[in-house]
Structure 1
């Protein structure tokens, strides 16, 4: 997945560290084999190369991620779209990135014509989809969160009950720290006083424009692409952090809210009871706004 993972845990049963590492790497290997569009022989890459009108029954993990992505795509009017791959590549990101500079109008039009999650004819009950031809799935906005959840399941199956598991800055806290206190994480807001939150059987995911950007001829743009317009997001939002019981849901919602922006995203979060922290670019310093469901003890 092009990133790192870390684990902090209480180990009263003195499980061998090699067994713990093997459990995590085994779970992450399943996600990579199914959903990494960087791996040519993964399930997602084979679907992306598949001929038009071919039908594919997905592995159960892949199907679970697609159900979540399709659900939030429908709820948000397409602010998250698992077929956004051609647009991501067009703007210079991902394994098929066109890094020649700003995309031409013709290239953007061609990419837009390939995007649209409804074209997949995804059957949520059966866990199958149809490749209409030329559609490139990209689950970067949700798969890492699922990997956190999948690794969590593997650690619980091993017998661990108290741990903090992280992949690329997305975390899930299970149980308690040694001593009985909940796991604590710090949210980078860009402000002098960082937000500290407790992850008591909760997950946290952050999306924003401060980590992956491209620039060409004086124009700078974010890696977050709005599937509805085909353009990188251009609003004042710097980052969105979401708390949820499941990291997959937090990851997907952080993507949705980042695309929707500080106003539309705020309204969406309030309507759907999402615990979210919005940080916007400001002068002289960033501004921060928390939804009603954001923990009161974490408010500034």
Structure 2
């Protein structure tokens, strides 16, 4: 998972906090000496707005209310919610369902997310999986862009966790610019976006774990970076291990050899969504998708007892970190 390089100048100011069950950090050049309390409030307010709309862990969030609603009910979405949902639906269509915003019932069935049944330790039975899959399908969620509204088709449960965290990074970046800040690096739970430059004029840089114990230094010159994979979140029962990354097309956790995918993109929301898409598609189809859509992606694949890496054509030539 990417992390800021430690060689950033000591003159930079740093803020941190918590959101979405994880942490956020901000490094900024602040020549106008804007009060740090104001900067912190600006970042936290942007994050809190995303949580209030799209967190399935918050029972009063917009997404939770939709998920509980009855069949046929129409819901007018806030602009941010509609933007994230539109992004997820766009890539769902482009990838034949490798990402699916209606995946919530499957997430819970496999023991992840806010609605997971803690009493169920093992994987679901084929009958349970078949029953829940009937509630999943991105085509069931029709977003009307003119009214920013969606209709609950019955039993649908949205889960935007594969997109919302990256979007939150973008919203913080926009809020900081509106506050008058131009040069900063914002990170939320391992997803990052850079704006401007460090005080020494160099671009912001992050370390990306290409192989276990090996990192590459990547310059984020007006770019965002996001990582998806099974190296951090998984469950295990009676010798079977499964990833939190589910394939909406089969209803089951991904079973290929990809350990992680990292994507570079100007927008963190897009990087976040695309990292999920490529992880689900797997090594061969994921690389083909990245090439077809002109994406900068780094893949880490399990190879026997170790790992190997491969990259798309758009990925920058890495510099090995010390």
Match of 2:184 among 151, 163, 187: 163
The yes-or-no answer on 1:30 pairing with 2:54 is: no
> What is the rounded CA distance, in whole Å, between the counterparts of 1:111 and 1:259 in structure 2?
19
Match of 1:196 among 217, 223, 232: 217
Which residue pairs with 1:6 in the alignment? 25
**Structural RMSD (CA):** 1.2
> What is the rounded CA distance, in whole Å, between the counterparts of 2:308 and 2:144 in structure 1?
42
Q: Check the 8 A contact 1:69/1:142 in 2, yes or no.
A: yes
Unpaired runs of at least 5, structure 1: none
Which residue pairs with 1:151 in the alignment? 172
Task: Specify the SS of the correspondent of 1:110.
Answer: helix
Shift of 1:38: 0.4
The yes-or-no answer on 1:223 pairing with 2:247 is: no
Which residue pairs with 2:72 in the alignment? 53
The yes-or-no answer on 1:238 pairing with 2:259 is: yes
Superposition misfits of 4+ residues, deviation over 4 angstroms: 297-300
Unpaired runs of at least 5, structure 2: 1-19
> What is the rounded CA distance, in whole Å, between the counterparts of 2:142 and 2:227 in structure 1?
30
Match of 2:274 among 241, 250, 253: 253
CA deviations on 1:235-289 (whole Å, 9 max, x unpaired) are 0000000000000000000000000001111100100001000000123431000
Give runs of aligned pairs for residues 1-300 of structure 1, distance below 5 A: 1-99=20-118, 100=120, 101-298=122-319
Q: Check the 8 A contact 2:215/2:320 in 1, yes or no.
A: no
CA deviations on 1:118-140 (whole Å, 9 max, x unpaired) are 11222234321110011000000
Q: Whose helix fraction is larger, Structure 1's or Structure 2's? A: 1
- How many equivalent pairs are there? 300
Residues 103-112 or 54-63, more deviating: 103-112
> What is the rounded CA distance, in whole Å, between the counterparts of 2:221 and 2:307 in structure 1?
28
Shift of 1:192: 4.1
Task: Specify the SS of the correspondent of 2:107.
Answer: helix
Q: Whose strand fraction is larger, Structure 1's or Structure 2's? A: 2
What TM-score do the two structures reach when normalised by structure 1? 0.98
Change beyond 3 A, Cα 1:110–1:284: closer
